[in-house]
Structure 1
């Protein structure tokens, strides 16, 4: 028994100390982070009890998010196409740019308030936030890598070995822990400090143009861009002319249902003024172009959303003044504190 006790002590010391073959693994308290739940938001859809954000989990997720080694070339990171100051979108790029200059087929979506969403991607291909990151990592025109290869690379990095050991109880560098760490980073991306929010709280007032735009928005846009999240999370065909270059069938790619042809997820409009370009394929560069489209560019099809085909008219009729007022309101949805929050920045 005495010899066995000495062996255990020696083994413990070996695991805790640095040597030529074993990296030092720092053991420290891994505190839970307070989820920044706004009072006027719904409860999160993400199970924060199952995967609670922690200091080390968040740190690991952030490191993974900005690490190009998650791609086959070692260059393209999640943060490459999701830039914080533009609400984690690929600013001015119509579609995502991947390894070796490859172009995707869809615009990189904002990564905000994901804790409140039920499904992810333009077509809802990811039914859970923990599975969302698999899509860009394994898509050939994005990061073009395999999960197995990524894990192999992470296991060769002493810093990652230490972070995984501190972030998760089992300390394993495995698929579940990698994607849970990424989720811990992303669920903390809560954006709820816009002028719009301050007005709702009674701490600010709209200008005349903003107030007029809000009234127009409530009357003509809020059926789809509903509630405090400014999306009803549904999938709709908004009448975009089909781009023959991509011929993206939308939600149908996931469900196989003809009724889902050209339907895409209704995006949140939070930080919309900085998250250009717009639509699933980034075809519009300005908010004015978007409103011009809804006014006079909507095309008919078998799956066009009924809200956009009232009687004999297609789209949403808007005067030039109404467009200006709507844009004035949409600009109140920008959250500068979130866009500049250093906890989410790469450096």
Structure 2
């Protein structure tokens, strides 16, 4: 084989390797924000913060950046782990800086662009403001925004990344928040079996057990867990009783007596990955949750009206409901390389 032929072969190999690498670069997966066809209109004002690849990638880097915490050890991704649908799997309540314990279970970061309020108590009404809470909370990151911005300015890479994303190397709080929002609103979960069935994709269909469970969820759970997000984002007393730390939920925000022990209705999506359950993580297994609603509703004065009677699910019905809930698990979401730490 001549020198010229070897050169041609080497050139071809270099091109192939380069193309293969390009396919593995997460940025090459970026296709912008796309609203699933069967989802409602957004709540988030995306026109005020249009998603770009540069700002999204900056937001992703910031999401996994431990410099957001006081001692540079805790990132957003520490308590919101992708393989657990961005929850802190296995912990009843969140574990933050210096292994301090919070008072609530870490909620999933999923379909936030459709939420009008955030946190279990709805204390934050704008996604662009939400990161302030974990950053400044003593039990979580225990840092100040001023210190975070100062650390980012001093970092060798961040000024250039902010300039690339927002046209200026001056790192402002507003752009810092917008970048994080761009990452969070891209955390869309809409590719479960359920989504394929309702959109009539291919030959997707429920089994008989799943279909029976679907009807039960619509009949007995649908007033709170509305399709397709499987939450109505309301705040309700669901009859589980007062927790060990006497967390009063929505009342701490509104000081309205009627809001005592009300918490945000969570989505039923991705439950296989997000145990334990409830605002304080008191239930480890889903069958324990179904037992609670079937037999153990606590009748407090402001118990939600739809729960005045136990759901009274039979053993067979519980299995059917569990079968349907499994159709809401989205493996593509928890394995999406675009959302992974780089």
TM-score w.r.t. structure 1 length? Answer: 0.88
**Is it true that 1:318 corresponds to 2:313 in the alignment?**
yes
Which deviations, in whole Å up to 9, do the C-alpha atoms of 1:19-41 show, x marking residues without a partner? xxxxxxxxxxxxx9521211111
Counterpart of 1:23 in structure 2 is none
5+ long unaligned stretches in structure 2:
1-29
Whole-angstrom distance in 2 between the partners of 1:269 and 1:136: 24
Which deviations, in whole Å up to 9, do the C-alpha atoms of 1:310-344 show, x marking residues without a partner? xxxx3311111111110000000011111100000
Which deviations, in whole Å up to 9, do the C-alpha atoms of 1:20-72 show, x marking residues without a partner? xxxxxxxxxxxx95212111111111111110111111111111100111011
Contact 1:295 1:317 in 2 (8 A): yes
Counterpart of 2:339 in structure 1 is 344
Counterpart of 2:71 in structure 1 is 73
Pairwise CA distance, 1:287: 0.6
**Is it true that 1:329 corresponds to 2:324 in the alignment?**
yes
Pairwise CA distance, 1:175: 0.8
Counterpart of 1:5 in structure 2 is none
**Is it true that 1:208 corresponds to 2:220 in the alignment?**
no
**Is it true that 1:225 corresponds to 2:220 in the alignment?**
no
**Is it true that 1:241 corresponds to 2:236 in the alignment?**
no
Whole-angstrom distance in 2 between the partners of 1:301 and 1:208: 37
Pairwise CA distance, 1:169: 3.1
Which deviations, in whole Å up to 9, do the C-alpha atoms of 1:183-211 show, x marking residues without a partner? 00011111111100111122311111101
**Is it true that 1:292 corresponds to 2:287 in the alignment?**
no
Whole-angstrom distance in 2 between the partners of 1:171 and 1:128: 25
Alignment equivalent of 1:130, drawn from 125, 128, 131: 128
Alignment equivalent of 1:100, drawn from 55, 78, 98: 98
> How many pairs align?
311
Counterpart of 1:52 in structure 2 is 50
TM-score w.r.t. structure 2 length? Answer: 0.89
Residue 104 of structure 1: SS of its match in structure 2? Answer: coil
Pairwise CA distance, 1:170: 3.9
Counterpart of 1:264 in structure 2 is 263
Pairwise CA distance, 1:171: 3.7
Which deviations, in whole Å up to 9, do the C-alpha atoms of 1:139-189 show, x marking residues without a partner? 100111111111111110020011111111344211111111000001111
Whole-angstrom distance in 2 between the partners of 1:249 and 1:243: 9
Contact 1:122 1:265 in 2 (8 A): yes
Whole-angstrom distance in 2 between the partners of 1:99 and 1:306: 39
Residue 215 of structure 2: SS of its match in structure 1? Answer: helix
Whole-angstrom distance in 2 between the partners of 1:131 and 1:55: 21
Which deviations, in whole Å up to 9, do the C-alpha atoms of 1:221-274 show, x marking residues without a partner? 011001211111100000112123x10000011111111100001011111121
More helix by share: 2
Whole-angstrom distance in 2 between the partners of 1:281 and 1:230: 20
In 2 relative to 1, CA 197–33 (structure 1 residues): closer, same or farther, beyond 3 Å? closer
Runs of 4+ in 1 over 4 A off after TM superposition: none
Counterpart of 2:197 in structure 1 is 199
Residue 300 of structure 2: SS of its match in structure 1? Answer: coil
Whole-angstrom distance in 2 between the partners of 1:300 and 1:171: 56
Whole-angstrom distance in 1 between the partners of 2:210 and 2:240: 27
Contact 2:32 2:53 in 1 (8 A): no
**Is it true that 1:144 corresponds to 2:148 in the alignment?**
no
Whole-angstrom distance in 2 between the partners of 1:202 and 1:59: 33
Contact 2:56 2:182 in 1 (8 A): yes
Which deviations, in whole Å up to 9, do the C-alpha atoms of 1:69-112 show, x marking residues without a partner? 10112111100010111110001111110111100000000101
Whole-angstrom distance in 2 between the partners of 1:113 and 1:241: 28
Contact 2:189 2:333 in 1 (8 A): yes
Contact 1:139 1:145 in 2 (8 A): yes
Whole-angstrom distance in 2 between the partners of 1:303 and 1:341: 41
Contact 2:97 2:142 in 1 (8 A): yes
